[in-house]
Amino acid sequence: MRARNGDTAAYERLVERHAGIAFRTACVLAGSAADAEEATQDAFVKAHRALGRFRPGAPWRPWLLQIVANEARNRRRSAGRRVRLELRAAEQAVGAAGAAGLSLAAPSPESVVLLAERDAGLRRALGTLAERDREVVYLRYFLDLSETEMSAVLGCRPGTVKSRLSRALQRLRAAVEERDG
Amino acid sequence: MAERFDVLESRLRALAAETEFPPTPDVAAAVRSRIAVAPVPPKRFRFARRPSRRALAVAIACVVALPAAAIAAVPGARHAVLDWLGLRSVRVRTVPALPPAPPGPGSRPSARPGADLGRRATLARARAQLPFSVRVPRALGSPPRVFLASSPPGGRVSLIYRGPPRLLVTEFRGSHTRTFLEKTAGPGTTVERVRVSGAPGAWLAGRPHGFIYADARGVIREESTRLAGNVLLWERGGVVFRLEGRVSKAAALRIARSFR
């Protein structure tokens, strides 16, 4: 890797590679896609400036995500605002499956879908969680962050991540059960 | 029923697979121009071991996960699917259960390629092993071929009648999860609610079809078309019955009513 000593092209590749996870992390924390975009951009610029402080050999992602998280939190403009996570467009999905040669092909004569209605309930239950709990659940299960990355994003010790996640899951389970009756 | 964490976790993962974040904007260009304006050469920056194995693993996972994710998207976006298929709100019925899943390692598809029926068994063995009462249609007599599968949880039995008409009967138990069976039908397929001796059911007639479903662990699965034909689905006592074959509705209902 030629990315050292200010190799801008190399840094750009790094940005491209991590833009997705940085942006999604920002989405979870910022409250809107627009804020998340700003936060991501600023985070990459700040990270570039701070590269000198980056410890060589240390994992890059947790370090970057920590900066992203700070930027995103600073931009959360209203406490109640939450990013709306969209369902994947079905048409796209069906088309993609067709392109992949699956029998779910677009003009599929018939498809029987066993729908997990419970997922709708789970989604609603997630919505009732406190910000703090929801964040940890999203980071773990929707973004698939490692414990190290989560601790960087949440600003807590790695050991605390587990207990926070476990408490959040308890409350989520309680919320699901309440809804499922 | 209390749900264990691992179940909740797999549900969360399944939900995540259906969820899409807003598309990532092109931040690279903006970052590039901002850095170009104020370049700050780091003192002694080195990357941590190139893309790192983790990044590579992530990239591979993305490639592998793509078709699954595409399928996974379907159940969550059912209205869009139904709209797209021109059949909004055709909810066939509530089935707290799951169609057959692909066989695990060791069990070979036996009936024909693509038919994930499990392993060959006898009716007696199926009855001894499954936690629900296996019923057979008296109208057709004892099934010539019986297959037993361990998925979905609770097990599944498939009975094959060579016919004519060739028929496939599948029975499996509902799980405690509140899963719904949704029907999306394309051109050439009709859906009709029916009653099988009082039990709610659906008659799906038309062209061959496939199943897409979430199993008890929330894993989205797809099952390819098996026997070409019409399908009668019904549920009784927490057990889902599925009869498939080239039969008329009247014949299917007559057979279904004879299940004992």
ipTM of the prediction: 0.77
Asked if residue B220 has pLDDT above 60, the reply is no
Give how far A156 is from chain B: nearest CA, Å.
Answer: 22
Mean pLDDT of chain B: 61
Q: What residues 115-144 of chain B have any CB closer than 8 A to a CB of chain A?
A: none
Output the pLDDT for position A20: 93
Residue A99: the pLDDT is 35
For B205-230, letters b (16+ CB in 10 Å) and e give bbbbbbbbbbbbbbbbbbbbbbbebb
Q: What is the pLDDT of residues B204-216, one digit of tens each?
A: 776 544 444 444 4
Which pLDDT does position A6 carry in this prediction?
A: 61
Select the residue from B21, B88, B151, B242 to test the A interface by mutation, using most A Cβ atoms within 10 A: B21
Mean pLDDT confidence for B121-148: 89
Q: For residues A149 and A22, is the Cβ–Cβ distance under 8 A? A: no
A59 → chain B, closest CA residue: B48
For residue A52, the model assigns a pLDDT of 78
Question: Is residue B22 predicted with pLDDT exceeding 50?
Answer: yes
Domains of chain A plus CATH, in order, are: 8-75 (1.10.1740.10), 114-176 (1.10.10.10)
Please give the pLDDT value at position B20: 72
**For residues A1 and B147, which has the higher predicted lDDT (pLDDT)?**
B147
Strand (E) or helix (H) holding A23? helix A8-30
Dist. CA B186–CA A94, nearest whole Å:
12
Say if residue B112's pLDDT is above 60.
no
pLDDT > 90 in chain B, percent: 8
Check CB contact of A2 with chain B, cutoff 8 Å. Answer: no
B-facing residues of A in 135-154 (CB < 8 A) are 137, 141-142, 144
Q: Are B172 and B97 in contact (CB under 8 A)?
A: yes
Q: What are phi and psi of B2, to 5 degrees?
A: -65, 140
pLDDT tens column, B79-94: 332 222 222 222 322 2
Q: Is 60 exceeded by the pLDDT of residue B176?
A: no
What is residue A19's predicted lDDT score, i.e. its pLDDT?
A: 94
Tell me whether residues B66 and A96 touch, CB distance under 8 A: yes
Judge whether residue B121 has pLDDT over 80.
Answer: yes
Burial B51-63 (b: 16+ CB within 10 A, else e): beeebeebeeeee
Show which of residues 82-101 on chain A sit within 8 Å of chain B, judged by CB atoms.
83, 85-94, 96-97, 100
Residue whose entry in the numeric block shows the structure tokens 């989520």 = A172
- Integer angstrom CA distances of residue B221 from A92, B85, B105, B161, B207: 18, 20, 16, 26, 21
Mean pLDDT for B242-249 is: 85
| Ranges of each domain in chain B | 1-16+49-260
For residue B47, is pLDDT > 90? no
Alpha helices per DSSP H over A31-157: 33-49, 60-75, 90-99, 117-128, 131-137, 147-154
Would you state the pLDDT for residue B45? Answer: 39
- Residue B236 CA to residue B238 CA, distance in Å, equals 5
Q: How far is B134 from chain A (nearest CA, A)?
A: 22
* Nearest residue of B to residue A142, measured between CA atoms: B16
Confidence band, pLDDT 50/70/90 cuts, at residue B202: confident
Residues of B whose CB is below 8 A from A96 = 66-67, 70
Q: How high is the mean pLDDT in each 10-residue block of chain A (181 residues)?
A: 61 89 91 86 91 79 94 73 46 35 28 41 83 92 93 92 95 83 52
Task: Decide if B70 and A96 are in contact by the 8 Å CB cutoff.
Answer: yes
Q: What is the pLDDT of residue B240?
A: 77
User: Which residue type, as a one-letter code, is found at position B203?
Assistant: W
Residues of B in contact with A26 (CB under 8 A): none
Question: Cβ neighbours of residue A159 under 8 Å, at least 6 residues apart?
Answer: none
**Distance between CA A94 and CA B84 in Å, rounded?**
10
| Contact (CB<8Å) A114/B41 | no
Spatial distance between the Cα atoms of A122 and B178, rounded to a whole number of angstroms: 11
Residue B156, both tokens: 């599944």
Can you state the percent helix, strand and coil of chain B, rounding each to 5? 30, 25, 45
pLDDT, average across residues B119-129: 90
Task: Count chain A–chain B contacts defined by CB atoms under 8 A.
Answer: 296
Residue B108: which residues within 8 A CB-CB, separation 6 or more? B119
SS3 A111: strand
